[in-house]
Structure 1
Amino acid sequence: MLDMGQRNPVTPKIVGWDTITDTLERIYYLPETAVVPTSQPNDMVVDTQHGVFVIADEGIGNGGDGSAASLITVDMKTGKTRRLLEGHRTTLPENRPTVVSGKPLAVKGKNLLVGCDGITADKDFEWLYYAPLNGNKVYRVRLVDLLDESLNETALDKRIETYADKPNNGGLSMDTEGNLYLTAMETNSVAVILAKDKSVHHIFSDENLLWPDGVSYNLVDGYMYVSAAQVHLGAVFHNGKSQAKAPFYIFRFKPLAKGVPFR
């Protein structure tokens, strides 16, 4: 579980909870070298191949404008953290406001632009896929390159690929055939970028799928699950009064191929 550390002045952290024994496994703290005042650690990839967590930092914490969005890596064994690609062309938000029900999402009259948000990896943990929420591109980089401490940012930049076009989106997930699923909050829907030609296709939508967010695959039943987070109805967007209300839905859908769990 990723604690953004914003409900009060606490250190952001990853909390590992053993659901079998119902006990605390481990806490990984994100020190000041890994976060900045405007950090908002959000989605993450659990890379069991390379033994790291990779976190997307949206850069909108404490009134941030996304300009310090980045990736954060955490070594599972040592807890060592690295902050990468801060304010990079691939983590920065574009000036593409999120429009829900005809209205741009804004805080105090200023459009909210969110940096690096959706993040996932392929089944072999060869490629990391990531994207700013506000932006029309998905990017990818080989995990061995991202984790190579001998590469400076200029060298790393040259190894990043522009993967595909996309709408503004929140979560990302991938199936075993390389199809990339994304949550399109502006249209209450889930879409997919096909591996064969990088084209974007609608999967499903629902009027109750209000701000679809994270996407997770269940190995047992073969469904992907997506939460309706109602983010746009939060108090910060409505003069301090939350418009979110029950019921709070979780939807499921069958992916085109088997998904990749533990993302």
Structure 2
Amino acid sequence: MRPAILPASLLALVVASSCSSPSSTANEVGATISADSTVATAPQAPANSPLQIVAAFREPQIVGVAVLPDGRVFGDFPRWDNNPINPVAEIGANGSVKPYSDANWCTWNETVRNEPQKHWICPQSVYADKTGMLWVLDPASPNIKGTVVGGPKLVEIDPKTNKVTRNISFSESVAARKSYLNDVRVDTEHNYAYITESGIGALVVVDLKSSKARKLLEKHPSMLGDTTLNIKADGHEMIDPTGKKARFNADGIALSQDFQYLYWKPLTSYKLYRIKTEALRNATLTDAQLGQQIEDLGKVPACDGMEIDAQNNLYMTAFENHSIVRRTPAGKIEPVVQDPRLEWPDTFAFGPNGMLYITNSAIHKTATWNKGIGRQDQPYHIFKMRMAQ
């Protein structure tokens, strides 16, 4: 089945945004919508939509998704304004949620405050690498109000045993108290991990052989959100409780199939950038020298999540018009699907049998961006759609 294609006239440069904003929600999957929420009519699926529902969660808010080669699905539910019981979970075929890697890792309360490296504090990203290993990125910043000392980490789990095989802790020189580690990609050929840091605006490069991490290009223009933009969703301008317009720094990230290029973009920006990973791995290069190697790839939608397929098409979530688009290797922006249920399409994962998985996190309808009143009108979802082979 081929994905539904939007008419080119509907594209006109769609605009989108990030997976790094808190929401006021309840604590458990299956919880009803909060009493202070304004419930509207939930968006309905178009008759020809290729999106299939994998799982639906009334609460808490899902952000990330990862899919293994065998089809196992994982999600993460960050501790923003709520306290999910299973912040990292394996999602069953019936939409059930199982704590991952176990209930102890999912526990974060006063009884375990002295061991922040052994528990999910505010996991932001789950990612399956090309070898089938699962990675969890934990910025350890509940409600995005500052990191827990000793908490920021990148954790590798072997899904065959469901055991942690690597746990890399980040010092404050890499993950400062105001940082928010956002998304990760793993280069299994050179044994490196690349991470966007959206709190301050930077990249973090991790040598997985030595577990040493370096923060690069901090506050470089390519890392910072554009302060002149008025990001909207559903025609609603994003304004926080203090009256400030939404501004999100480096967020979406993708790694080319041959591991030669890293792509990223600030969320509130229409610019896409890339750099050769060889440069990022060269510890002798200064930020100034790295900056000279950054390529500005021109105008694209403001977007949250990004992913690259086997043909090196770059997929982007475009939330202002409930869409997914892709950028071809030649630089052409093509529509992929539009569906009103894609309320803030957030994160991608490719699975077996040509399936593309997508979460919708409805960030723009959470209380943070609606004067304290949650306006979610449908469950959060994991969708999937079959891509042309």
TM over 0.5: yes
In structure 1, how many angstroms separate the alpha carbons of the residues matched to 2:274 and 2:165?
A: 31
Question: What does the per-residue CA deviation read over 1:158-194, in whole Å, with 9 as the maximum and x for residues that have no partner?
Answer: 1111123211100111112221110011111100111
Please point out which of 16, 19, 37 is paired with 2:156.
16
Q: Check the 8 A contact 1:234/1:241 in 2, yes or no.
A: yes
Does residue 157 (structure 1) correspond to residue 291 (structure 2)? The answer is yes
Count of residues in correspondence between the two structures: 247
1:64-143 equivalence runs, <5 A:
68-94=200-226, 95-108=228-241, 109-143=243-277
The CA deviation at 1:241 is 4.2
User: Where is the strand percentage greater, Structure 1 or Structure 2?
Assistant: 1
Question: What does the per-residue CA deviation read over 1:122-177, in whole Å, with 9 as the maximum and x for residues that have no partner?
Answer: 11100001111111111110000011111111111111111232111001111122
Partner of residue 42, structure 1: 182
In structure 2, how many angstroms separate the alpha carbons of the residues matched to 1:86 and 1:173?
A: 23
Please point out which of 106, 119, 141 is paired with 1:6.
141
Residues 246 and 20 of structure 1: is their aligned pair in 2 closer, same or farther, counting only changes over 3 Å? farther
Please point out which of 118, 143, 167 is paired with 1:27.
167
Q: TM-score, normalised by structure 1?
A: 0.88
Largest Rg, 1 or 2: 2
Q: SS of the counterpart of 1:107?
A: coil
Q: SS of the counterpart of 1:129?
A: strand
Residues 206 and 31 of structure 1: is their aligned pair in 2 closer, same or farther, counting only changes over 3 Å? same
Give the RMSD, CA atoms, in angstroms: 1.7
The one-letter code of the counterpart of 2:250 is: C
- The higher-RCO structure (CA 8 Å, 6+ apart) is 2
In structure 2, how many angstroms separate the alpha carbons of the residues matched to 1:20 and 1:199?
A: 40
User: Could you list the runs of 5+ residues in structure 1 that have no partner in the other structure?
Assistant: 60-67, 258-263
The CA deviation at 1:5 is 0.6
In structure 2, how many angstroms separate the alpha carbons of the residues matched to 1:215 and 1:12?
A: 23
Q: Check the 8 A contact 2:307/2:348 in 1, yes or no.
A: yes
In structure 2, how many angstroms separate the alpha carbons of the residues matched to 1:211 and 1:84?
A: 29
Q: Check the 8 A contact 1:97/1:113 in 2, yes or no.
A: no
The CA deviation at 1:43 is 1.1
Q: SS of the counterpart of 2:141?
A: coil
Identity %: 30
In structure 2, how many angstroms separate the alpha carbons of the residues matched to 1:200 and 1:256?
A: 17
Q: Check the 8 A contact 2:354/2:388 in 1, yes or no.
A: no
In structure 1, how many angstroms separate the alpha carbons of the residues matched to 2:168 and 2:377?
A: 33
Q: Check the 8 A contact 1:171/1:182 in 2, yes or no.
A: yes
The CA deviation at 1:87 is 0.6
Does residue 144 (structure 1) correspond to residue 273 (structure 2)? The answer is no
The CA deviation at 1:205 is 1.4
The one-letter code of the counterpart of 2:301 is: P
Does residue 168 (structure 1) correspond to residue 302 (structure 2)? The answer is yes
Q: Which runs of 4+ in 1 moved over 4 A?
A: none
Please point out which of 197, 200, 216 is paired with 2:349.
216
Q: TM-score, normalised by structure 2?
A: 0.61
Question: What does the per-residue CA deviation read over 1:81-138, in whole Å, with 9 as the maximum and x for residues that have no partner?
Answer: 1001111011111132320111211212111110111101111100001111111111
